[in-house]
Amino acid sequence: MTFSIDIFTLFPEYIDGPSSLALLGKAQEGELVSVSSHDIRKYTKDNHRSVDDQPYGGGPGMVMTPEPLFDAVEDVQPQRPLFVLSASGKKFTQDMAYELSCGDGFSLICGRYEGVDQRVADHLADDEVCVGDFVLAGGEAAALIMIEAVTRLVPGVMGNDTSHAQESFSSESNEDAVLEAPQYSRPASFRGFDVPEVLLSGDHGAIEKWREEQSIAKTKKNRPDLLT
């Protein structure tokens, strides 16, 4: 069965281009994954194809109106769960990516302007999600982040389906979900900077111990909040 993703956006080309490249592009060619973008403006009813209006109660900016979004979703009948991408949503994590990859797919609504009418999140979508503690101009970049994070975990998409288990934030084999240890490749010496000797030793026990120590040290330095 193909893992299906539906994206509702004002800029389909923002999604279509990157989705056709690299690992995700190959996954779509192999029919392991399907990413479909849907232009919200096609579901407007006025001559100006308006998708936004002033917010009730006042305030800056414009808000995406509910009618085109409801009509689009009801017409497409997208793969569930359906999420609104919003800075006020729950945080997207590696664990969430893994959970989604175990299903049949998911769908996203990309907000613009000051966001979407709350009735879309409350009565049309299944939840609201954000990709980090920052604000973007629109949901398309966030959608691409979620698409790539999830689809690379779909069975068959990566060459080695177990290669993600030791990555940063993965809790499949690491209950603390610490950051991944440093990685090195050839040459062993480059401009006077050498690969740690333990990695050249062939001693797998020592290498594993070194990686665990480096992983914890890197997490303490860059993300101490993960070491609860």
As a whole number of angstroms, the distance between CA 75 and CA 26 comes to: 28
Helices first, then strands: H and E counts in the chain: 7, 9
Q: Where are the beta strands (DSSP E) in the chain?
A: 3-9, 33-39, 52-53, 63-64, 82-91, 105-110, 127-130, 189-190, 193-194
Query: Are 86 and 122 a contacting pair, CB within 8 Å?
Result: no
Is the pLDDT at 173 greater than 50, yes or no? Answer: no
Read off the pTM.
0.87
**Amino acid, single-letter form, for residue 228:** T
Which positions ≥6 away from 226 have C-beta within 8 Å?
169, 176, 177, 178, 179, 219
* 226: Cα separation from own chain's centroid: 20
Query: In DSSP terms, which residues pair with 82 in a beta bridge?
Result: 107
Question: Mind listing the pLDDT tens digit for each residue in 15-52?
Answer: 999 999 999 999 999 999 999 999 999 999 988 999 99
Is the pLDDT at 174 greater than 50, yes or no? Answer: no
Question: Mind listing the pLDDT tens digit for each residue in 64-120?
Answer: 999 999 999 999 999 999 999 999 999 999 999 999 999 999 999 999 999 999 999
